[in-house]
Amino acid sequence: MALPLVGGAEPIALDVVGLEVELTPDGADGFDGELHAAIDPEQAVAAAYRALTQMLLMRPDLRALIVGAFDSDGDGRVDVGEFAATPVVRALVGPDVQLFDASGAWAPSAANARKDSLSLGVRFHLARKER
């Protein structure tokens, strides 16, 4: 699945697991839909960091703001480790569901005792294209 994480940036491909789509007729010859899936939190951090660097290329005027928010060692740069360690990034892309057992086999658990994946969801609408 490829999603643009920052307006104007290239979409970033994500490897998802547990993909499901729900479609509900909208009563007007179309469908309302929801996509549910999960990704590896490390992949989410890498994708968000790539989006951030793309945004900085498009908007160099934001550099001071971004560096101020994420540069923890004061060297004037933000590496992926600094980015990943910030509380806001950890909160946004940290694991929130358990989909695998200790051996890595698919074993979703409602208890979420060992969270290992980041859930994501997208709502969309499908309409018939008029010819």
What confidence tier does 2 reach under pLDDT thresholds 50, 70, 90?
low
Q: Give me the domain span that covers residue 64.
A: 2-126
Average pLDDT for 58-85: 91
Phi and psi of 59, rounded to 5°?
-130, 70
Q: Total structural domains in the chain?
A: 1
Under 8 Å between Cβ of 122 and 37: no
Residue 30 domain-assigned (yes or no): yes
Residue 111 domain-assigned (yes or no): yes
Residue 131 domain-assigned (yes or no): no
Residue 117 domain-assigned (yes or no): yes
Residue 19 domain-assigned (yes or no): yes
Residue 12 domain-assigned (yes or no): yes
Q: What is the model's pLDDT at position 12?
A: 79
Q: What is the model's pLDDT at position 116?
A: 97
Residue 6 domain-assigned (yes or no): yes
**Whole-structure pTM value:** 0.78
Taking only the tens place, the pLDDT of each residue in 34-62 is 999 999 999 999 988 988 888 888 888 98
Q: Which residue has the higher pLDDT, 9 or 21?
A: 21
SS3 string, the chain, reads CEECCCCCCCCEECCCEEEEEEEEECCCCCEEEEEEEEECHHHHHHHHHHHHHHHHHHCHHHHHHHHHHHCCCCCCCCCHHHHHHCHHHHHHHCCCEEEECCCCCEEEECCCCCCCEEEEEEEEEECCCCC
Phi and psi of 44, rounded to 5°?
-65, -40
